[in-house]
Amino acid sequence: MILLLDIGNSRVKWGVLADEGRISGVASRSLGGHGIGGIAESCWSSFSPTRVIASNVAGSNLAGELRGWVWATWQQEVEFLVPTERAYGVTNAYRDPSRLGADRWAALLGAARRPHGHLCVVDCGTAVTLDLLSADNVHLGGLIVPGRRLMRDSLVTGTAGVRYTWGAEAVLLACDTGSAVAGGALYATIALIDRVVADLVEEFSAPVTVLLTGGDGALLLPLLAGTVEYEANLVLHGLAVTAGV
């Protein structure tokens, strides 16, 4: 039993990897700005993993807290994924490979295990990241923009008159400020992905499939043009690759 942890900026997702390579028991919790100890104690203390493999983009303090809890509970070290120049048949485009986000690297490793041509791997979470993976598993670079929530928050905190009510409906032509903000953030995300993919198709003179993951992935899936696939647990699948199962 291997515990896989996808620790993002706002949420942690986990799953259990069995000997046959199947990931089960996938669940997630909001970090809520309170660290990871409470989640670990309430959700994982009954587990008995042989290994703990993690992707972490939430910072060194949280990583230290997780290390301490895992050692105290199971007397094990956490295996944090560190991006490298090349691993598991995937080549990293970054000049300093270690500076690529661990979640982006894990997503690329997971995507590479699927039959594919050119893939635009889009992770829609707190930030939206887009990474192009070639048909021969070479990472060709990518982009990072704020996710929908960050877009909304930046308007609320950076302006005097804009207010957003949680749950406001995203519509094309809004008649209240909350809906205008929600719709604007949604359309900005859709337009970005569609335009980037269109430019990639022109650049490489080849089809490009969008592979969506992240918290907003299911929402965006029916709204995008072109060929789009969805894998909710892509980062966990990438961590499973590093487990060698």
Q: How confident is the model over 153-164, as pLDDT tens digits?
A: 888 888 877 776
- Catalytic entry in 6, 103, 131, 216: 103
Q: What is the identity of the amino acid at 170?
A: A
pLDDT of residue 173: 83
Helix (H) / strand (E) element for 92: namely none
Q: Show pLDDT as tens, one digit a residue, over the chain (245 residues).
A: 899 999 999 899 999 998 777 999 999 999 987 789 999 999 999 999 999 999 999 999 999 999 999 999 999 999 999 999 999 999 999 999 999 999 999 999 999 999 999 999 999 999 999 999 999 999 999 999 999 989 888 888 888 777 766 666 777 788 888 888 888 999 999 999 999 999 999 999 999 999 999 999 999 999 999 999 999 999 999 999 999 86
The SS3 assignment for 13 reads: strand
Nearest to 147 by CA among 105, 182, 189: 189
pLDDT of residue 166: 64
Nearest to 241 by CA among 137, 129, 134: 137
pLDDT of residue 244: 84
What are the start-end ranges of the E strands in the chain? 2-7, 11-17, 23-30, 51-56, 78-80, 86-87, 90-91, 118-124, 127-133, 139-146, 208-213, 228-230
pLDDT of residue 219: 93
pTM of the model: 0.94
What would the two tokens of residue 204 be?
Answer: 């490489």
Q: What angle do CA 24, 26, 27 make, to 5 degrees?
A: 155
pLDDT of residue 21: 79
CA distance 21 to 136: 23
CA distance 66 to 79: 11
Using an 8 Å Cβ cutoff, are 66 and 56 in contact?
yes
Q: Is 103 a catalytic residue?
A: yes
Q: What is the pLDDT of residues 70-99, one digit of tens each?
A: 999 999 999 999 999 999 999 999 999 999
